[in-house]
Amino acid sequence: MDTPTARWRPPLIWRGAQLLARAVVGALARLEVTGDVPDGRRRGPLILAANHLSPFDPLVLAAACRARGVSPRFMATGGLFRAPLLGAAMRRAGHLRVDRGTAAVHRALDDAACAVAAGSVILVYPEGRIGLDPGLWPERGKTGTARLALASGATVVPVAQWGSHEVLPYRAPKGMLRAVVRAVWRRPVLRVHFGDPVVLGDVAADAPGAARRVTDRIIDAITDALVPLRPDEPDVPRHVDPGRPVDTSRAHRRRLP
């Protein structure tokens, strides 16, 4: 897509928050980042599509993106924006509010499209929630990310991560203190991999079912990038969070070529 002359720049508050995220992640675990984003796209326009494992994911991804020289604008649940201090900080940092389950949820896609048009890097969770697959594999995605990619023409890079579920439990802040102490003691390895861009050039935006096909491609790409990050845990994770519910209704079936 054509890049506008007036480009969005990450505010100082967000660049500082990324440095803080790197320090916090480093205090609790060991971060390993592999892969990269395409040359010339570190400042956008770009869509980063990541799997969602834990409430700790935003800190991990902020730190990993910092390691790759990227300052993405997160699409985050509206509840975070309603928090008195955190909400104000997120708005100043340029992050985008998603009010799931409300009539205003469609506004988030419009806001994201405007952000991409302004040259932003957007980070999204295509699953739309913290995954509840029993093996912690990516679930069937929502179509919002695909519709954003088709409408904007922006490059989509899959981002796979593994290990954040060992730092914070699903029901955090419940059980958070115990989990943090355990993480400091054990220092789990957090792996993040930036995969190859998803090939979307052969999909016409107005073709029937295009959003669903692109969504499946994005989830497939995240899954492929995740496989090498968990070679010793191909079926179920070693660390099982007893507070995480299980839901197999959104299991993703990989499409054959």
Digits of tens for pLDDT over the chain (257 positions)?
444 446 788 999 999 999 999 999 999 999 999 999 988 888 889 999 999 999 999 999 999 999 999 999 999 888 788 888 888 888 898 999 888 766 666 788 888 999 999 999 999 999 999 999 999 999 999 999 999 999 999 999 999 999 999 999 999 999 999 999 999 999 999 999 999 999 998 999 889 999 999 999 999 999 999 999 999 999 999 999 999 999 999 999 876 54
Note whether 86 and 13 are within 8 A (CB): no
* pLDDT for res 77: 83
Residue 173 buriedness (CB in 10 A; 0-12 / 13-18 / 19+):
exposed
* pLDDT for res 3: 45
The span from the CA of 234 to the CA of 252, in Å, is 15
* pLDDT for res 154: 94
* pLDDT for res 78: 80
* pLDDT for res 79: 78
Query: What sign does the CA torsion over 56, 239, 193, 209 have?
Result: negative
